[in-house]
Amino acid sequence: MSARNAAQRSPAVANEGQAGMSASSAAPAVAGEPLLRVRGLSKHFPVRDGLRGGGLVRAVDGLDFDVRPGETLGLVGESGCGKTTTGRMLVRLLEPTAGTIEFAGRDITHAGRRELRPLRQDLQIIFQDPYASLNPRHTVGRIVAMPLQVNGINPPGGVKARVRELLELVGLNPEHYNRYPHEFSGGQRQRIGIARALALRPKLIVADEPVSALDVSIQAQVVNLLRDLQRDLGLAFVFIAHDLAVVRHFCQRVAVMYLGRIVEIGDRVDIYERPQHPYTRALLSAIPDVTKLGPAGRIRLTGDVPTPLNPPSGCRFRTRCWKAQDICATEEPALVPRDGGRQATACHFPESGPVGAGPDAHAVATGPGARGVGTGPGATAAGVEEVSK
Amino acid sequence: MDRSDPAPSGEPDRPSVPEQRSGEDPYLRVNDLRVRFDTSDGVVRAVDGVSFSVQRGRTLGIVGESGSGKSVTSLAVLGLHEEKRTTITGEISVGGRQLVGLPEEEVRRLRGRDMAMIFQDPLSALHPYFTVGRQIAEAYRVHHPKAGKRAARQRAVDMLGRVGIPQPARRFDQYPHEFSGGMRQRAMIAMALVNDPDLLIADEPTTALDVTVQAQILDLLADLQAEFHSAIIMITHDLGVVSQIADEVLVMYGGRAVEHGSVEQVLRRPQHPYTWGLLSSVPSLHGDADADLVPIAGNPPSLINLPSGCAFHPRCRYADRNGDRSRTEVPQLRPAGGPGHLVACHLSADDRTRLYAEDIAHVGVAR
């Protein structure tokens, strides 16, 4: 497994120079052409508001990234950051407002139904909710066979044999071919969704929170399954999740989103060990860590994510950032590669070093604080509370 | 902004729980609680002989997957059941008063005043038709009939401010849909605390929230506990949340307690294979990201038809080590490891120590 693994990854490693770079000017003229190339991708939803007229929710606002064949890219961020909207645009369930999506060298941004059909074979999606994404009136066999039938594919040995093979591949009993979704548990249903996505032997799968609706013990089963499939079949993934620990276990590269934009993108080890964007650091430090008992020192962000209806000027994170200066309000930081191009960060004042050790340690709280009880210094203008015991 | 003060160094301490308080009588004492529902499919034994106690100022984390009985336990404590179909036996004593068998009217008087609940989904727990402030004020007036409207409003505004909602007086007149998810959860905490309850039950209070907001809410609960000195039961599936906030942990499986001990004991020296499974199946932010997780095989059991013997045996890697015992005999909670640490498992202490070190200690967050 490891040999195959290494063989598969080697082209990606050779291209590491470009891996983290996704500035629109970057045109990597190297062998490993990206499978998916996204430039300036945006989705704006018009909203009507009785009093204030209308507005635009800038759910996704100018994303640039590439996914290479066989590569796994994680899209992480909090709710409302646009990660799901992005995923839906990638598989063309939503029409992008602006920007381009290239898949295997073809511009598919506005491809019509007929043009999309052959493409659907290469590009599949796994949905979050295993209860809502399977038709309750269809048998499992029919659900998994549907992509084959819709695309008029008759695999050697027949559809039924292929479906059984797929069920076996995802760890389900092929004898359960004739059962209905309600006869399966949540984890098994998610496996059915995965089998359906694999039916056409896709090159890229967009997985939108594929394990977040599952119990913890079942999550690990599905994550392991996806990892095995990814390695064995050489699949590329865009893995959308809010759980950064799961993403770390699945993705080679990670893009962190905030309010419709990518604020940082890089290799797994860069994002988790040396995050440069203050938001990435805050996000990582907010995850409760079982290995540390008690409220460990962490960066406390105050407030909520601002509304995408009227995002802050300049850097969108500045209203919650402890490093914000005047320039952050006036000038939007570009997503620029640092450290020789492996990791790109959209920040005027990027951090360095591991979380908690850099300058941001000043913003790290030290224990059960005294918020709202009168002894803490309270919220600072920058929106981060410094709380000391 | 002045950030020149030196960074705090070293590991922050656990929330300080004064030792002398350990002699205090527990505020909540649950003994051999059994909850059964009669359904058309059969009898659901949702809780099957669970005992625990919580002192004021302490937090008990109840951990388990869906269907483990953790939520039903808390609903039983609060007396929130459909009476016709539910049979509750055992003892629930709150502040020295026995709740099982108490007339509904009297339980209602305690509920909301002496004990309160924070639900997982604030959007469905708050009434969409009334302003947030009105609902909090009402919760206050129910238990303070002499309080006037104005006093109740003032109290509600105070509470909104207390839980960190900016501009509480203005927020008082807003509806739940005008609040963000984190703010709604804060409002619900304000409502739960408006009568200064001694016991607070929080059922997955942060599961629907983003991590940065979850961190805020956990901090808030810890602060409020320090201020009000209340006993807290935190029901969650998230071991990370438990590690942050709990003093004691109760692990439930199939309606029974399988492990019980201090947070250090259960998370650092876990004794039950199910707890091991939970720890080894959760991905970690540290360690080898390429190593496979070790999931628990199979699915959680049906409470209508619980496996014989140890309910965990069909999923347990070590079920065969004691012959047929795991299949035939229900393991009782027995002392294991340190003082106060209990585990319900047929494995011998030596086996548990060795198996944990060999198979589990290096994977997932068990590391």
pLDDT for position A14: 36
DSSP A385: B
Whether B17 contacts chain A with CB within 8 A: no
Least confident of A96-100, A225-229, A273-277, B82-86: B82-86
Could you report how far apart the first and last alpha carbons of chain A are, in Å?
Answer: 50
Q: Is the pLDDT of residue A87 over 50?
A: yes
Distance from CA of A201 to the nearest CA of B (A): 24
Taking an 8 Å cut-off on Cβ atoms, the answer to whether A304 and B213 are in contact is yes
Q: Which residues of B touch A367 (CB under 8 A)?
A: 12-13, 15
Taking an 8 Å cut-off on Cβ atoms, the answer to whether B267 and A290 are in contact is yes
Taking an 8 Å cut-off on Cβ atoms, the answer to whether A297 and B299 are in contact is no
Mutate which: A76, A217, A271, A389, vs B, most B CBs within 10 A: A217
pLDDT for position B15: 36
Q: Which residues of A touch B268 (CB under 8 A)?
A: 293
pLDDT for position B130: 94
Distance from CA of B32 to the nearest CA of A (A): 27
> CA–CA distance from B168 to each of A303, B71, B79, B130, B159 (Å)?
14, 31, 32, 16, 8
Distance from CA of A259 to the nearest CA of B (A): 14
Strands A261-267 vs A253-258: parallel, antiparallel or unpaired: antiparallel
Taking an 8 Å cut-off on Cβ atoms, the answer to whether A295 and B284 are in contact is no
Which B-chain residues 42-101 have CB contacts (< 8 A) with chain A? 65-66
pLDDT for position B56: 94
Taking an 8 Å cut-off on Cβ atoms, the answer to whether B214 and A216 are in contact is no
pLDDT for position B225: 92
Distance from CA of A366 to the nearest CA of B (A): 6
Give me the mean pLDDT over the A339-353 stretch.
84
pLDDT for position B21: 43
A42's tokens = 């945006």
Taking an 8 Å cut-off on Cβ atoms, the answer to whether A245 and B292 are in contact is no
Taking an 8 Å cut-off on Cβ atoms, the answer to whether A290 and B215 are in contact is no
Taking an 8 Å cut-off on Cβ atoms, the answer to whether B220 and A372 are in contact is yes
* pLDDT by 10s per residue, chain B, length 367: 344 444 444 333 333 333 334 457 899 999 999 999 988 888 899 999 999 999 999 999 999 888 888 889 988 998 888 778 889 999 999 998 898 888 888 888 888 889 999 988 877 888 999 999 999 999 999 999 898 999 999 999 999 988 888 889 999 999 998 888 888 888 999 999 899 899 999 998 888 788 888 888 898 899 889 988 999 999 998 898 999 999 999 999 999 999 999 999 999 999 999 999 998 888 888 888 888 888 888 888 888 889 999 999 999 999 998 888 999 999 999 998 789 999 999 999 999 999 998 888 777 666 5
pLDDT tens readout for residues A165-213? 999 999 899 989 899 999 888 889 999 999 999 999 999 999 999 988 8
- A3-17, A284-298, A357-371, B185-199 — most confident range: B185-199
Whether B294 contacts chain A with CB within 8 A: yes
Give me the mean pLDDT over the A111-115 stretch.
85
ipTM for the predicted complex comes to 0.79
Instruction: Give pTM, 2 decimals.
Output: 0.82
Percent of chain A with pLDDT over 90: 50
Query: How does the average pLDDT of chain B come out, rounded?
Result: 87
Taking an 8 Å cut-off on Cβ atoms, the answer to whether B214 and A286 are in contact is yes
Per-position b or e across A195-233, b if 16+ CB within 10 A of its CB: bbbbbbebbbbbbbbbbebbbbbbbbbbbbbbbebbbee
pLDDT for position A49: 65
**Nearest-by-Cβ selection for A220 from B14, B182, B293:** B293
Taking an 8 Å cut-off on Cβ atoms, the answer to whether B1 and A382 are in contact is yes
Q: Is the pLDDT of residue A250 over 50?
A: yes
Find the closest chain B residue to A186 by CA distance: B299
Q: Which residues of A touch B18 (CB under 8 A)?
A: none
Per-position b or e across A292-321, b if 16+ CB within 10 A of its CB: bbbbbbbbbbbbbbbebeebbebbbbbbbb
**Nearest-by-Cβ selection for A367 from B12, B161, B163:** B12
Which B-chain residues 163-202 have CB contacts (< 8 A) with chain A? 163-164, 180-183
pLDDT for position A370: 30
Give me the mean pLDDT over the A145-170 stretch.
90
Taking an 8 Å cut-off on Cβ atoms, the answer to whether A291 and B211 are in contact is no
Whether B350 contacts chain A with CB within 8 A: no
Q: What confidence tier does A15 reach under pLDDT thresholds 50, 70, 90? A: very low
Q: Which residues of B touch A286 (CB under 8 A)?
A: 211-212, 214-215
Mutate which: B123, B185, B244, B263, vs A, most A CBs within 10 A: B244
Distance from CA of A368 to the nearest CA of B (A): 6
pLDDT for position A30: 39
Taking an 8 Å cut-off on Cβ atoms, the answer to whether A296 and B12 are in contact is yes
pLDDT tens readout for residues B211-237? 888 888 898 899 889 988 999 999 998
Long-range contact set of residues B351-354: C-beta below 8 Å, sequence gap at least 24: B351/B318, B351/B321, B352/B271
Taking an 8 Å cut-off on Cβ atoms, the answer to whether B216 and A302 are in contact is yes
**Nearest-by-Cβ selection for B211 from A188, A286, A372:** A286
3-state secondary structure chain B: CCCCCCCCCCCCCCCCCCHHHHHCCCCEEEEEEEEEEEECCEEEEEEEEEEEEECCCCEEEEECCCCCCHHHHHHHHHCCCCHHHEEEEEEEEECCEECCCCCHHHHHHHECCCEEEECCCHHHHCCCCCCHHHHHHHHHHHHCCCCCHHHHHHHHHHHHHHCCCCCHHHHCCCCHHHCCHHHHHHHHHHHHHCCCCCEEEEECCCCCCCHHHHHHHHHHHHHHHHHHCCEEEEEECCHHHHHHHCCEEEEEECCEEEEEEEHHHHHHCCCCHHHHHHHHHCCCCCCCCCCCCCCCCCCCCCCCCCCCCCCCHHHCCCHHHHCCHHHHCCCCCEECCCCCCEECCCCCHHHHHHHHHHHHCCCHHHC
Q: Is the pLDDT of residue A107 over 80?
A: yes
Whether B299 contacts chain A with CB within 8 A: yes
Distance from CA of A371 to the nearest CA of B (A): 7
**Nearest-by-Cβ selection for B65 from A217, A249, A291:** A217
pLDDT for position B6: 41
Taking an 8 Å cut-off on Cβ atoms, the answer to whether A248 and B215 are in contact is no
Find the closest chain B residue to A188 by CA distance: B299
Compute the distance between CA of residue A102 and CA of residue A36 in angstroms, rounded to an integer: 6
CB A19 within 8 A of CB A81: no
Q: What confidence tier does A50 reach under pLDDT thresholds 50, 70, 90? A: low
Instruction: Count contacts between A and B (CB, < 8 Å).
Output: 192
Whether B2 contacts chain A with CB within 8 A: no
pLDDT for position A226: 93
Distance from CA of B67 to the nearest CA of A (A): 10
Sheet holding A253-258, edge to edge: A123-126, A204-208, A236-241, A72-76, A253-258, A261-267, A343-345, A336-338
Distance from CA of A296 to the nearest CA of B (A): 6
Distance from CA of A120 to the nearest CA of B (A): 30
Taking an 8 Å cut-off on Cβ atoms, the answer to whether B295 and A381 are in contact is no
Query: How does the average pLDDT of chain A come out, rounded?
Result: 81
pLDDT for position B346: 94
